[in-house]
Chain A
Amino acid sequence: AQSVTQLDSQVPVFEEAPVELRCNYSSSVSVYLFWYVQYPNQGLQLLLKYLSGSTLVKGINGFEAEFNKSQTSFHLRKPSVHISDTAEYFCAVTFAHNQAGTALIFGKGTTLSVSS
């Protein structure tokens, strides 16, 4: 069975500092990986996804993530955060044989708090 572990439930950082949100997954077969962001009182929106190809994936708002198959990780990074990046971030995984985006298993979320 698949599972997703987000290693930090809360990450406080100062504005303009770099940040890494960690995500590990468990699966015996090929997977698709996603990061979603949820701003306060809103639904989730896609930040980026890895389906195949280059292991470094660039997303919206300056975020990027690297798929590391040997370490079964998909960590999210941003070199310089803004106050507006304060939100909850979810890592998600699904089997590669599923229609991409279906049957997602979500992590429990990481709250990123950016202060000045």
Chain B
Amino acid sequence: EAQVTQNPRYLITVTGKKLTVTCSQNMNHEYMSWYRQDPGLGLRQIYYSMNVEVTDKGDVPEGYKVSRKEKRNFPLILESPSPNQTSLYFCASVSGGELFFGEGSRLTVL
């Protein structure tokens, strides 16, 4: 089954404790992206990757890092999480004009 898989789906952590949200797609898509969704703000792009070893900042990249060492994986790294990074995060891959979204990762930073 074609899918984008994110883990963890839910996480509560504390300020400053590094964490990684993994994202994997099995559709061989070149383009992948991370979004955060906040009430009243819609979805905002954090980082995207056009292909392996090619990443670039989206609209709200501060406090985040990404890597793209393999085509299928695009992890999102929060080196020192802060409460303003409490949000719902979505990973997506693109093909044929369509974004395929993961089911989301709800992160709470205390």
Say how far B103's CB is from chain A's closest CB, in angstroms. Answer: 5
For the complex, count residues of A whose C-beta is within 8 A of B: 22
The B interface, classified by DSSP as helix, strand, loop or mixed, is strand
The A interface, classified by DSSP as helix, strand, loop or mixed, is loop
Chain A hits for B45, CB < 8 A = 103-104
In the complex, the answer to whether A90 meets B31 with C-beta atoms within 8 Å is no
Is A36 interfacial (CB-CB < 8 Å)? yes
The B61-110 residues at the A interface (CB cut-off 8 A) are 90, 92, 94-99, 101-104
Bound: A36/B19 CA distance, A: 29
Is A99 interfacial (CB-CB < 8 Å)? yes
Among candidates A44, A51, A107, residue contacting B99 with C-beta atoms closer than 8 Å: A44
Bound: A90/B94 CA distance, A: 17
Chain B hits for A51, CB < 8 A = 97
In the complex, the answer to whether A43 meets B104 with C-beta atoms within 8 Å is yes
Residues on B lying within 8 angstroms of A by beta carbon are 4, 31, 33, 35, 40-45, 48, 50, 90, 92, 94-99, 101-104
